[in-house]
């Protein structure tokens, strides 16, 4: 009983520091007077703030357009892969999912290298680059970049809905004389509507919280969004933390509302998966190839090409080829190598620490009860809170005059930020691992005299470790790519991969930034591949 009480206290303390404390400080600060207005709460001042209203409309518009772009494409991909799969369907599915692994800010950077007067597309097809540039630097262009990143997520949700459904409905409709469209409307559409709603809410939530894409494109597009407005209130003089907190509270509320609608819809998408095998269709490769080309091959090709170029303006010529950027990144004396080393060390430590904390939390949640339900809600809440809002909360809490813990201003604050944003994913894997343990094993362990700690170490971990390794690799990969919290919280003199890439792109040192992008993506892919190989060997 004492061990369980200490476990509960430890878990609540961890989640309190990671989630509750930053949120509480944001709410408190939002109720303070705005720094630019010495009267009235900052939250109430937003109602008459034209810049905030424009940012709110910009955020809603970008998120809505991303939903409009991502849902039809994801639905088409899911229908093709399910009802008319091409040959080598597993390979095609892997290619469809790769764009989700590329950080959205990197996709935005890649497309800025592709379009424009000196872009790679203009160099190959004269006259095409400029119209594409005009589209990219617009509200619709920003939404399209997010749609390319999130369409694989829509595909996963809708593909699962199709597999969960009863395929006999569409067969019965065709037998009774229904045409293809009517059979789809009667037999398929009702099955995927909850999944479409869930996917749409998830796309809206992720797009409204995105910082990197608007930070790179919105200035040229003449669009303001909430995430960049929050960052500006904390980094542009005069610093206005009450305003940043008030805007963050609005964005956080928007995310939490969308998340609460998403959770029951996602639960409806669970069920028995039917393994069906429809005949292959060669023509289905055409739309799949078009998506893979636009979402993966062109952006990755642009990043690779620029990472080997001496000068972008010279173009794709052998005389313009160089290894200099990679040599600079891997030089032990360079700041780039320091950023790479810091990212790898931080990601590894966060992956280990977060999975341990998630495992302790999941072990309490699996027993049930009100306190367990509260912990489960608290552990998954960061998924609904934009990273920029969490970063503001951490600034307010860890940098408060009364907080003497040596965290803010050190590399540890980045670890805390990464652990907070990745905790829901770690929790999901930990719960899946513990769900594989039959209750009879717990009973047998207690009958033979083992206490809770010994049962946890000798029974739970040996069974759950494959899922724990899978969760650790996901946390590692997400920590390597995190941008907004890294930008807002990084201590003086410290850089990580994401901030190095972002800073070099903004400063025009693009070759070094793209070389770092290649190394960062490959290192994350290598870790994921090794972990997957170990799990398959088991």
Of 247, 269, 301, which residue sits at a domain end?
A: 301
297 and 326 belong to one structural domain: no
381 and 283 belong to one structural domain: no
67 and 211 belong to one structural domain: yes
203 and 257 belong to one structural domain: yes
Give backbone dihedrals phi and psi of 406, rounded to 5 degrees, phi first: -80, 70
pLDDT tens digits along 181-227:
566 666 666 777 788 888 888 899 899 989 999 999 988 888 899 99
Q: Tell me if 174 is assigned to some domain.
A: yes
Among the residue ranges 154-168, 215-229, 439-453, 483-497, the one predicted with the least confidence is: 439-453
pLDDT tens digits along 214-267:
999 988 888 899 999 998 888 877 888 888 899 989 988 888 887 777 766 665
Q: Give, as one character, the DSSP assignment of residue 293.
A: I
CA distances from 73 to 64, 70, 77 (A): 15, 5, 6
Q: Give the domain CATH number at 477.
A: 1.10.3720.10
What is the per-residue DSSP string for 346-369?
Answer: HHHHHHHHHHHHHHHHHHHHTT-S
> What percentage of the chain carries pLDDT values higher than 90?
30
Per-residue pLDDT band for 277 (boundaries 50, 70, 90) equals low
Residue 138 confidence (pLDDT): 92
479 and 366 belong to one structural domain: yes
Q: Are 11 and 426 in contact (CB under 8 A)?
A: no
- 3-class DSSP state of 86: coil
Nearest-angstrom CA–CA distance, 439 and 308: 56
Determine the average pLDDT of the residues in 439-447: 62
Q: Tell me if 209 is assigned to some domain.
A: yes
Which comes out higher in pLDDT, residue 457 or 228? 228
232 and 173 belong to one structural domain: yes
275 and 380 belong to one structural domain: no
272 pLDDT more than 50: no
125 pLDDT more than 70: yes
442 pLDDT more than 90: no
Q: How far is CA 353 from the centre of its chain?
A: 20
Residue 173 confidence (pLDDT): 59
Q: Are 34 and 42 in contact (CB under 8 A)?
A: yes
Q: Are 88 and 278 in contact (CB under 8 A)?
A: no
Of 255, 270, 301, which residue sits at a domain end?
A: 301
Residue 60 confidence (pLDDT): 92
276 and 211 belong to one structural domain: yes
Q: Tell me if 43 is assigned to some domain.
A: no
Per-residue pLDDT band for 366 (boundaries 50, 70, 90) equals confident
Give backbone dihedrals phi and psi of 240, rounded to 5 degrees, phi first: -130, 80
Q: Tell me if 286 is assigned to some domain.
A: yes
444 pLDDT more than 70: no
Number of domains, the chain:
2
Residue 443 confidence (pLDDT): 59
pTM: 0.86
393 pLDDT more than 70: yes
Which residue's entry shows tokens 């080598």? 88
Q: Tell me if 39 is assigned to some domain.
A: no
Of 242, 267, 301, which residue sits at a domain end?
A: 301
Q: Tell me if 7 is assigned to some domain.
A: no
Average pLDDT along the chain: 83
Q: Could you write out the three-class secondary structure of 383-395?
A: HHCCHHHHHHHHH
Q: Tell me if 198 is assigned to some domain.
A: yes
Cβ burial of 41 (10 Å; 0-12, 13-18, 19+) is middle
118 and 195 belong to one structural domain: yes
Dmax (CA) of the chain: 77
CA distances from 111 to 106, 364, 507 (A): 9, 46, 17
294 and 345 belong to one structural domain: no
> What percentage of the chain carries pLDDT values higher than 70?
83
What is the per-residue DSSP string for 422-469?
Answer: HHHHHHHHHHHHHHTS-HHHHHHHHHTT--HHHHIIIIIHHHHHHHHH
Residue 451 confidence (pLDDT): 60
Determine the average pLDDT of the residues in 160-187: 62
pLDDT tens digits along 93-116:
888 988 888 899 999 999 988 887
Tokens linked to 404: 């003497």
291 and 326 belong to one structural domain: no
Range of the domain at 404: 322-537
Nearest-angstrom CA–CA distance, 305 and 321: 9
Q: Tell me if 314 is assigned to some domain.
A: no
Which comes out higher in pLDDT, residue 120 or 247? 247
Closest among 422, 437, 441 to 467, alpha carbons compared: 437
Residue 268 confidence (pLDDT): 55
Per-residue pLDDT band for 274 (boundaries 50, 70, 90) equals very low
Nearest-angstrom CA–CA distance, 233 and 456: 46
Nearest-angstrom CA–CA distance, 49 and 35: 13
520 and 424 belong to one structural domain: yes
């Amino acid at each position: 009983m004492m061990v369980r009480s200490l476990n509960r206290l430890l878990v609540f303390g961890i989640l309190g520091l990671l989630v509750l404390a930053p949120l509480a400080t944001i709410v408190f600060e939002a109720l303070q007077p705005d720094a630019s207005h010495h009267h009235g709460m900052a939250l109430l001042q937003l109602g008459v703030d034209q810049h905030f209203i424009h940012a709110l409309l910009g955020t809603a518009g970008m998120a809505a357009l991303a939903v409009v772009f991502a849902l039809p494409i994801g639905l088409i991909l899911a229908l093709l892969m399910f009802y008319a799969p091409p040959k080598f369907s597993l390979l095609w599915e892997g290619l469809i999912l790769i764009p989700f692994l590329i950080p959205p800010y990197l996709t935005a950077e890649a497309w800025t290298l592709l379009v424009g007067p000196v872009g790679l597309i203009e160099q190959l097809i004269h006259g095409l680059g400029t119209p594409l540039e005009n589209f990219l630097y617009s509200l619709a262009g920003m939404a399209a970049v997010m749609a390319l990143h999130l369409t694989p997520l829509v595909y996963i949700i809708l593909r699962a809905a199709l597999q969960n459904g009863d395929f006999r409905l569409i067969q019965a409709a065709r037998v009774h004389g229904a045409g293809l469209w009517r059979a789809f409307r009667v037999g398929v559409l009702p099955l995927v509507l909850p999944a479409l709603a869930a996917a749409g809410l998830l796309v809206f939530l992720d797009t409204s919280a995105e910082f990197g894409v608007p930070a790179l494109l919105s200035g040229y597009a003449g669009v303001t969004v909430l995430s960049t407005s929050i960052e500006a209130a904390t980094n542009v003089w005069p610093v206005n933390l009450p305003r940043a907190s008030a805007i963050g509270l609005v964005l956080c509320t928007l995310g939490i509302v969308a998340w609460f609608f998403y959770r029951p819809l996602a639960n409806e998408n669970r069920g028995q998966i039917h393994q069906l095998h429809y005949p292959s269709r060669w023509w289905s490769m055409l739309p799949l190839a078009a998506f893979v080309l636009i979402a993966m091959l062109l952006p990755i090709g642009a990043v690779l090409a620029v990472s080997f170029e001496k000068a972008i303006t010279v173009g794709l010529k052998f005389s313009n080829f160089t290894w200099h950027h990679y040599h600079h990144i891997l030089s032990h004396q360079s700041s780039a190598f320091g950023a790479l080393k810091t990212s790898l060390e931080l990601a590894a430590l966060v992956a280990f620490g977060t999975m341990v904390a998630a495992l302790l939390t999941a072990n309490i949640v699996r027993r049930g009860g009100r306190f367990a339900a509260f912990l489960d809600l608290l552990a998954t809440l960061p998924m609904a809170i934009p990273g920029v809002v969490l970063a503001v909360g951490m600034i307010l809490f860890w940098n408060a005059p009364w907080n003497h813990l040596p965290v803010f201003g050190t590399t540890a604050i980045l670890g805390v930020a990464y652990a907070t944003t990745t905790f829901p994913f770690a929790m999901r894997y930990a719960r899946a691992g513990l769900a594989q343990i039959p209750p009879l094993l717990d009973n047998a362990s207690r009958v033979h005299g083992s206490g809770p700690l010994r049962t946890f170490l000798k029974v739970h971990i040996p069974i759950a470790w494959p899922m724990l390794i899978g969760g650790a690799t996901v946390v590692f990969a997400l920590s390597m790519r995190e941008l907004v919290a890294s930008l807002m919280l990084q201590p003086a003199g410290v850089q990580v991969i994401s901030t190095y890439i972002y800073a070099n792109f903004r400063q025009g040192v693009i070759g070094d930034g793209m070389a770092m992008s290649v190394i960062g993506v490959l290192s994350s892919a290598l870790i994921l591949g090794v972990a997957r190989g170990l799990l398959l060997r088991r």
